[in-house]
Chains A and B, each alone.
Chain A
Amino acid sequence: TQLLEQSPQFLSIQEGENLTVYCNSSSVFSSLQWYRQEPGEGPVLLVTVVTGGEVKKLKRLTFQFGDARKDSSLHITAAQTGDTGLYLCAGVMGGANNLFFGTGTRLTVIP
């Protein structure tokens, strides 16, 4: 059983479109991270959100942490082909030594 569920699992969109990926849980996390993973490589950290309700922007990417610290979203504006990859959310729980990863969203941006 996954603590963090991501939706959608797969997403294929045209270049220039906007999209939102969701990361949901019934558990509370002390912080939440978003990663992007490309084929043959390990995940690379994009952002960490710590405070409930926090919004962080990274160029065309906007990350939000839910008020109750149980969910998060990633919004991409005007997607580019370079955004193609596997997006993973990962939560940190107080007292745990590891990250709890979501199920992943595989994004394909078509030129």
Chain B
Amino acid sequence: GAGVSQSPSNKVTEKGKDVELRCDPISGHTALYWYRQSLGQGLEFLIYFQGNSAPDKSGLPSDRFSAERTGGSVSTLTIQRTQQEDSAVYLCASSLFRSSGYLSTDTQYFGPGTRLTVL
């Protein structure tokens, strides 16, 4: 079956411009995550969506970052007034559900990422 897809695969933009990154999760997956991977760094959590619940935005680095998830499926991450430090690979992941309780072992399936370069 189809995995998580992201578009575009590469995006080059000028400082100060806005960008939109898209994620198509695996069909039927209710949980969706955005992460950022900078050069030499591990993955940094940005935002989490689960069903119809309010998103967990605790990882967003500034108010220039926002994300939406329409109809419980496709998600768009928007970065306004991009800065050079925003350059990174932005990864999206989805999972079937978010286990409740202490022992969460949901498998997150990652997309290939969007490489963003801000000049």
Contacts and interface: CB of A to CB of B under 8 A. Distances in A.
Interface of A: 2, 4, 6, 30-31, 40-45, 48, 50, 88, 90, 92, 94, 97-104
Nearest to B92: A42
B43 interface: yes
B105 A42 contact: no
A101 B40 CA distance: 13
A31 B105 contact: yes
Nearest to A94: B102
B104 A42 contact: no
Given A42-B91, A43-B110, A92-B105, A98 B42 contact: no
A42 B110 CA distance: 5
Contacts of A44: 110
30 contacts: A2-B42, A30-B103, A31-B103, A31-B105, A40-B113, A41-B110, A42-B91, A42-B109, A42-B110, A42-B111, A42-B112, A42-B113, A43-B91, A43-B110, A45-B107, A48-B105, A50-B105, A88-B43, A90-B43, A94-B104, A97-B48, A98-B33, A98-B48, A98-B56, A99-B33, A99-B45, A99-B108, A101-B43, A101-B44, A103-B42
Which 6 A-B pairs rank lowest in CB-CB distance, beginning with the nearest? A42-B110, A98-B45, A101-B42, A101-B43, A97-B48, A97-B56
Interface string B59-95: 1000000000000000000000000000000010100
B10 to A, nearest CB: 10
| Chain B, interface residues (CB within 8 Å), range | 20 to 34
Given A42-B93, A92-B104, A97 B42 contact: no
Given A42-B91, A100-B45, A104-B42, A50 B103 contact: yes
Contacts of B45: 98-100
A31 B104 contact: yes
A102 B42 contact: yes
A23 B52 CA distance: 35
A25 B95 CA distance: 25
A50 B108 CA distance: 16
